[in-house]
C-alpha cells in the first residue's frame, strides 16, 4: 500500500515547510539553546581534563545538520502515518514540565503522553485523541533512535562512575541535542477542497483524526520546531557500541508503540495497553541500558600491561602519535609504565619528544609513536583511567528532580526515625 503514497507530490510540500521554519526566529532560538548545551558540555570536558581545550564548533554544527535530516525523516513518517498535531500538545508540555520536577528524564513525552492517554480512557479527560498522541510519541522516538545510531557517540564526555562493587571506573557520558524542524500535519473541517490539493490513497491515514465526519476533513502542513535530546553512559562498552545498542532498543520501543497506537482505536483494552506501554516501555529501555552497563565488565580500568587510557584530546601530541581512547601505553623511552605516577615521573625527567610504545585497541597490535609539542602546547593530551580510589569527579547517575530529591530525603528521614530503637 505504501507504494501508492504520493511521495512526488508530498515531499516538495514538506521541504517547503521545513524551509519556512528555517526562516522563523523561533527555530534559531532553539538552535541557540542547543549550541549553549554544547558549550556547557565543552566546559565539562575542560573541567574534567583540567586543561583548556580548543573549542570544537563542528560538534554543534553536526548536530544541526543531523537535526535537519531528522526533521525531514520525522515529517515523512508523520505524514505517511497520518499523525496530526492535536490539542494534546497543550496538555503534554505542562505535564512534562511538572514530571521533570520529579525526575529529569520524565520530561520525555513518553511519560506525559501515556498518563494523558490513560486519563482520557479512564476518566474522559482531557479531550485528546489517544492514538494520535501515542503515535506522535512513537514517531519522535523513532527519529531519535536514528539520530542516536549515527551520531549518539560523537562528543562523548569522559567521566568517572562507581560500578556495582563501589569501585571507581572510567567511562563516558553521552549527551546529544538536536534542533528538529518539522512539517507537521494539521486538519480542518467544514471547508471545500481547495484547488491544487493532493489526492491521498484510500488506506490513508493509518490513524484517523477522531472527528465526526472524517471524509470531510482537509489536511494541511504547517511548520513547527522541536528539540530532541539523548543521555546515556558507556562503562562496559565504548561510546560507539553503546549508542548502537541504545538506538536498537529505542527503535524497537517506538515500533511497538506505533503498532499499539494504530490499533488503539479498535478496543478500550488495546488503548489501555498502548497508554501503559508508553511510559513503562520507555522505563524498560532505560533499565536494560543501565543494567547492561553497571552489571557488565568495565573496560576503562587499570591494565596489568601498562597505563590504560580513558581518553585523548583531539589534535594533541598523543592524538598526533596515533594514540586513542582505550589504548594502553606500555613503555616511554624504553621504560615500562604501569601507573599514572610512572608516566608522570618519566615525562617530568625527560624532555619531549618522548618515544612511546602502546597497544592499540583498534588495530589490536603494539605500535610506536612520538610525543612532541607544537608551539604553545603544554600538555600531552592523555587522560588515564581511574585507579580506583578517586573521590572527585564521580558522576551521580541519579536523575531525580527537586521534588524527587525532597521526597527521597523525607522518606529516608522517616525511615531512620522508625529504625531508632526505644530507650
| Tens digits of residue pLDDT in 210-251 | 666 666 778 889 999 888 889 899 999 999 999 999 999 999
**Residue 23 pLDDT grade (very low, low, confident, very high; cuts 50, 70, 90):** very high
pTM: 0.88
| DSSP 8-state symbol, 106 | G
Rounded to 5°, the CA angle 313-365-349 comes to 55
User: Is the confidence at residue 136, as pLDDT, over 60?
Assistant: yes
Quickly tell me which residue has 570536558 as its cell: 45
Percent of all residues in the chain with a pLDDT value above 70, rounded to a whole number? 88
Query: How confident is the prediction for the chain on average, in pLDDT?
Result: 87
Quickly tell me which residue has 600531552 as its cell: 380
Measured distance CA(354)–CA(337) in Å, rounded: 13
User: Is the confidence at residue 3, as pLDDT, over 70?
Assistant: no
User: Is the confidence at residue 63, as pLDDT, over 60?
Assistant: yes
42-72 burial: b if 16+ Cβ within 10 Å, else e: beebeebbeeebeeeeebbebbeebbbbbbb
| DSSP 8-state symbol, 202 | T
Residue 347: is it exposed, middle or buried by C-beta count within 10 angstroms (0-12/13-18/19+)?
A: middle
The pLDDT value recorded for residue 406 is: 73
Q: DSSP string of 283-332? A: HHHHHHHHHHHHHSPPSBS-BTTBEEEEEE-TTSHHHHTT--TT-EEEEE
User: Is the confidence at residue 34, as pLDDT, over 60?
Assistant: yes
> Which triple of cell numbers denotes residue 73?
525523516
The pLDDT value recorded for residue 423 is: 42
> Which triple of cell numbers denotes residue 278?
508508553
Check if the beta carbon of residue 105 is closer than 8 Å to that of residue 250: no
* Distance between start and end Cα atoms, the chain: 77
| Tens digits of residue pLDDT in 137-175 | 999 999 999 999 999 999 899 999 888 888 889 999 998
> Which triple of cell numbers denotes residue 70?
531528522
> Which H helix or E strand runs over 139?
helix 130-151
Instruction: Tell me which of 118 and 199 has the higher pLDDT.
Output: 118
Q: DSSP string of 70-93? A: HHHHHHHHHHHHT-B--THHHHHH
Q: Which residues contact 207 (CB under 8 A, 6 or more apart)?
A: 81, 82, 83, 129, 131, 132, 135, 261, 262, 265
Amino acid at each position: 500500500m505504501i507504494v501508492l503514497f504520493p511521495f512526488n507530490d508530498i515531499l516538495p510540500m514538506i521541504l517547503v515547510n521545513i524551509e519556512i521554519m528555517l526562516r522563523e526566529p523561533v527555530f534559531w532560538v532553539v538552535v541557540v539553546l542547543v549550541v549553549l548545551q554544547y558549550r556547557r558540555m565543552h566546559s565539562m570536558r575542560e573541567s574534567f581534563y583540567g586543561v583548556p581545550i580548543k573549542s570544537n564548533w563542528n560538534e554543534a554544527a553536526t548536530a544541526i545538520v543531523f537535526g535537519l535530516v531528522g526533521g525531514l525523516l520525522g515529517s515523512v513518517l508523520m505524514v505517511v502515518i497520518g499523525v496530526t498535531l492535536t490539542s494534546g500538545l497543550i496538555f503534554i508540555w505542562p505535564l512534562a514540565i511538572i514530571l521533570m520536577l520529579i525526575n529529569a528524564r520524565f520530561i520525555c513525552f513518553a511519560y506525559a503522553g501515556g498518563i494523558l492517554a490513560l486519563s482520557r480512557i479512564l476518566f474522559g479527560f482531557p479531550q485528546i485523541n489517544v492514538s494520535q498522541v501515542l503515535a506522535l510519541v512513537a514517531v519522535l522516538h523513532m527519529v531519535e533512535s536514528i539520530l542516536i545510531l549515527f551520531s549518539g557517540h560523537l562528543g562523548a564526555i569522559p567521566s568517572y562512575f562507581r560500578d556495582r562493587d563501589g569501585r571507581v571506573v572510567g567511562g563516558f557520558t553521552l549527551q546529544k541535542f538536536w534542533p528538529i524542524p518539522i512539517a507537521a500535519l494539521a486538519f480542518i473541517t467544514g471547508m471545500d477542497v481547495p484547488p491544487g490539493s493532493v489526492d491521498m490513497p484510500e488506506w490513508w491515514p493509518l490513524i484517523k483524526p477522531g472527528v465526526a465526519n472524517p471524509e470531510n476533513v482537509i489536511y494541511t502542513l504547517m511548520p513547527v520546531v522541536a528539540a530532541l535530546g539523548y543521555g546515556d553512559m558507556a562503562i562496559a562498552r565504548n561510546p560507539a557500541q553503546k549508542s548502537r545498542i541504545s538506538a536498537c532498543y529505542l527503535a524497537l520501543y517506538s515500533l511497538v508503540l506505533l503498532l499499539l497506537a494504530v490499533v488503539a482505536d479498535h478496543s478500550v483494552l488495546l488503548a489501555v495497553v498502548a497508554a501503559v506501554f508508553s511510559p513503562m516501555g520507555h522505563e524498560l529501555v532505560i533499565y536494560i541500558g543501565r543494567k547492561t552497563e553497571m552489571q557488565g565488565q568495565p573496560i576503562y580500568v587499570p591494565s596489568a600491561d601498562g597505563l590504560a587510557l580513558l581518553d585523548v584530546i583531539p589534535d594533541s601530541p598523543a592524538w598526533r602519535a596515533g594514540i586513542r581512547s582505550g589504548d594502553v601505553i606500555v613503555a616511554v623511552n624504553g621504560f615500562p609504565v604501569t601507573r599514572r605516577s610512572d608516566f608522570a615521573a618519566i615525562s617530568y625527567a625527560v624532555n619531549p619528544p618522548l618515544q612511546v610504545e602502546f597497544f592499540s585497541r583498534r588495530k589490536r597490535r603494539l605500535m610506536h609513536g612520538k610525543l612532541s609539542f607544537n608551539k604553545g602546547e603544554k600538555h600531552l593530551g592523555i587522560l588515564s583511567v581511574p585507579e580506583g580510589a578517586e573521590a572527585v569527579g564521580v558522576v551521580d547517575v541519579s536523575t531525580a528532580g527537586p521534588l524527587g530529591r525532597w521526597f527521597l530525603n523525607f522518606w529516608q528521614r522517616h525511615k531512620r526515625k522508625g529504625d531508632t530503637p526505644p530507650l
